[in-house]
Amino acid sequence: MSEPYSNSGPTGISEESLDWHFYLGILRQRWRLVLAGCALAMIAAAVHFLITPESYRATTTLQIEQRGTMSVTSDPNPWLEAWIGMKYYPTQYRLLESRGLAERVVLDLGLMDDSRFNSSPRQLLGGADADRSAAADEAVLARLAKRVLAGLKIEPVKDTELVELSFVTSNAEMASRVANGIADAFIDWGIETRTATVGRASEFLSRQIDTLKAEINDKEQQLQSYGRSTDILNLDPASNTTLQQLDRLNEDFVAALGDRLEKEARHNELRYSPPDALANRVSGGLVSELQKEQMRQEAEYESRLRTYKPEWPEMVDLKARIDEGRADLERMIVEQTREALASANADYQTARRREQSLADEIARVKAEVMDRNASAVEFRNLEMEIQNRRQLLDEMLRRLSEAGVRARLQSERETNVRVIDRALTPRSPFRPSLLRNLIVGLIAGLGLGVGFVVVLQLMDRTIKGPAEVQQRLALPVLAAVPDLDHRSSASRYGYYEPRPQPAAGEASDRVARIASADAPPKVELLPETSPRSAVSEAYRSLRTALMLSSADELRVLAVTSPESGDGKTATAVNLAVVMAQLGRRTLLVDGDLRRPRLHQIFERDNSSGLVHALAGGVDPATLYLTTGVDNLSLCPSGPHPPNPSELLASARMAEFLARATRDFDTVVVDTPPALVVTDAVVIGALCDGMILCLRANKTVHEDAEGCADRLRQAGVRLLGAVLNRFRPLAGDTYSRRYYSYETYTDEPDQARGAA
Q: What is the 3-state secondary structure (H, E, C) of 216-280?
A: HHHHHHHHHHHHHHHCCCCCCHHHCHHHHHHHHHHHHHHHHHHHHHHHHHHHHHHHCCCHHHHHH
Q: Is 605 helix (H, G, I), strand (E, B) or coil?
A: coil
CATH 3.30.160 fits 237-390, yes or no: no
Neighbour count for residue 388 (Cβ, 10 Å)? 12
User: What is the distance between the alpha carbons of residues 744 and 755, in angstroms, rounded to a whole number?
Assistant: 18
**In the predicted structure, residue 386 carries a pLDDT above the cut 90:** no
Share of the chain above pLDDT 70, in %: 77
Q: Return the pLDDT at 388.
A: 79
Q: Which of 666, 671, 491 is nearest to 595 (CA)?
A: 671
CA distances from 330 to 327, 417, 558 (A): 5, 96, 109
Secondary structure letter of residue 477 according to DSSP? E
Report CA 662 to chain centroid distance, whole Å: 67
- Determine the residue type at 282: V
* pLDDT band for position 120 (cuts 50, 70, 90): low
- For the chain, the average pLDDT equals 78
* pLDDT band for position 122 (cuts 50, 70, 90): low
**In the predicted structure, residue 466 carries a pLDDT above the cut 80:** yes
Greater confidence (77 vs 254) lies with: 254
Q: Are 171 and 39 in contact (CB under 8 A)?
A: no
> Please, what sign has the CA dihedral across residues 266, 271, 274, 277?
positive
Element containing residue 691 per DSSP (H, E): strand 689-695
Indicate the angle between helix axes 313-411 and 172-230, nearest 10 degrees. Answer: 120
3-state DSSP: the chain helix, strand, coil percent, rounded to 5?
60, 10, 30
Lowest mean pLDDT among 25-39, 191-205, 227-241, 397-411: 227-241
**Residues near 474 by beta carbon (within 8 Å), at least 6 away in sequence:** 708
Report CA 124 to chain centroid distance, whole Å: 58
Q: Are 595 and 564 in contact (CB under 8 A)?
A: yes
Greater confidence (148 vs 549) lies with: 148
Bridge partners (DSSP) listed for residue 589: 635, 669
Q: Is 516 helix (H, G, I), strand (E, B) or coil?
A: coil
User: What is the distance between the alpha carbons of residues 244 and 460, in angstroms, rounded to a whole number?
Assistant: 104
Secondary structure letter of residue 462 according to DSSP? B
* pLDDT band for position 241 (cuts 50, 70, 90): low
Q: Is 566 helix (H, G, I), strand (E, B) or coil?
A: coil
User: What is the distance between the alpha carbons of residues 623 and 604, in angstroms, rounded to a whole number?
Assistant: 12
Q: What is the mean pLDDT of residues 661-689?
A: 93
User: What is the distance between the alpha carbons of residues 56 and 149, in angstroms, rounded to a whole number?
Assistant: 15
User: What is the distance between the alpha carbons of residues 565 and 495, in angstroms, rounded to a whole number?
Assistant: 10
**In the predicted structure, residue 78 carries a pLDDT above the cut 50:** yes
Q: Return the pLDDT at 747.
A: 44
Q: Which of 399, 419, 414 is nearest to 194 (CA)?
A: 414
> Please, what sign has the CA dihedral across residues 142, 144, 145, 149?
positive
Q: Return the pLDDT at 601.
A: 92
User: What is the distance between the alpha carbons of residues 634 and 591, in angstroms, rounded to a whole number?
Assistant: 11
**In the predicted structure, residue 709 carries a pLDDT above the cut 80:** yes
**Residues near 314 by beta carbon (within 8 Å), at least 6 away in sequence:** 304, 308
CA distances from 206 to 197, 212, 214, 253 (A): 14, 10, 13, 54
Most confident range, picked from 110-119, 395-404, 550-559: 550-559
Greater confidence (5 vs 49) lies with: 49
User: What is the distance between the alpha carbons of residues 452 and 253, in angstroms, rounded to a whole number?
Assistant: 93
**In the predicted structure, residue 31 carries a pLDDT above the cut 60:** yes
Q: Return the pLDDT at 487.
A: 47
Lowest mean pLDDT among 41-55, 209-223, 475-489, 727-741: 727-741
Q: Is 169 helix (H, G, I), strand (E, B) or coil?
A: strand
Greater confidence (326 vs 131) lies with: 326
User: What is the distance between the alpha carbons of residues 206 and 199, in angstroms, rounded to a whole number?
Assistant: 11
Instruction: Enumerate the CATH 3.40.50.300 domain ranges in the chain, comma separated.
Output: 468-498+510-748
User: What is the distance between the alpha carbons of residues 26 and 749, in angstroms, rounded to a whole number?
Assistant: 33
**In the predicted structure, residue 301 carries a pLDDT above the cut 60:** yes
Bridge partners (DSSP) listed for residue 59: 166
Q: What are the phi and psi torsion angles at 498 (to 5°)? A: -60, 135
**In the predicted structure, residue 111 carries a pLDDT above the cut 90:** no
Lowest mean pLDDT among 197-201, 205-209, 325-329: 197-201
**In the predicted structure, residue 161 carries a pLDDT above the cut 80:** yes
Q: What is the mean pLDDT of residues 270-277?
A: 72
- 432 cis-preceded (ω within 30 degrees of 0): yes
| Strands laid side by side in the 625-626 sheet | 477-482, 718-726, 689-695, 556-560, 666-670, 586-590, 632-635, 625-626
User: What is the distance between the alpha carbons of residues 564 and 675, in angstroms, rounded to a whole number?
Assistant: 9
**Residues near 643 by beta carbon (within 8 Å), at least 6 away in sequence:** none
Q: What is the mean pLDDT of residues 652-664?
A: 93
How many CA atoms does the CB half-sphere of 399 hold within 13 Å? Answer: 26
User: What is the distance between the alpha carbons of residues 12 and 24, in angstroms, rounded to a whole number?
Assistant: 12
Q: Are 601 and 595 in contact (CB under 8 A)?
A: no
* pLDDT band for position 656 (cuts 50, 70, 90): very high
Model confidence pLDDT, tens digit, residues 561-611: 999 989 999 999 999 999 999 999 999 999 999 999 999 999 999 999 999
User: What is the distance between the alpha carbons of residues 361 and 434, in angstroms, rounded to a whole number?
Assistant: 100
User: What is the distance between the alpha carbons of residues 168 and 177, in angstroms, rounded to a whole number?
Assistant: 11
Q: Return the pLDDT at 21.
A: 65
Q: Are 477 and 721 in contact (CB under 8 A)?
A: yes
Q: Return the pLDDT at 680.
A: 93
CATH of domain 468-498+510-748: 3.40.50.300
Q: What is the mean pLDDT of residues 111-136?
A: 63
Q: What are the phi and psi torsion angles at 479 (to 5°)? A: -165, 150
- CA diameter of the chain: 159
Greater confidence (340 vs 565) lies with: 565
User: What is the distance between the alpha carbons of residues 591 and 612, in angstroms, rounded to a whole number?
Assistant: 12
Greater confidence (483 vs 609) lies with: 609
Q: Which of 204, 221, 190, 208 is nearest to 96 (CA)?
A: 190
Q: What are the phi and psi torsion angles at 476 (to 5°)? A: -70, 145
User: What is the distance between the alpha carbons of residues 205 and 706, in angstroms, rounded to a whole number?
Assistant: 96
Q: What is the mean pLDDT of residues 152-173?
A: 89
User: What is the distance between the alpha carbons of residues 643 and 689, in angstroms, rounded to a whole number?
Assistant: 25
Instruction: Enumerate the CATH 1.10.287 domain ranges in the chain, comma separated.
Output: 237-390
Greater confidence (74 vs 117) lies with: 117
Q: Return the pLDDT at 240.
A: 60
Q: Which of 188, 196, 195 is nearest to 417 (CA)?
A: 188
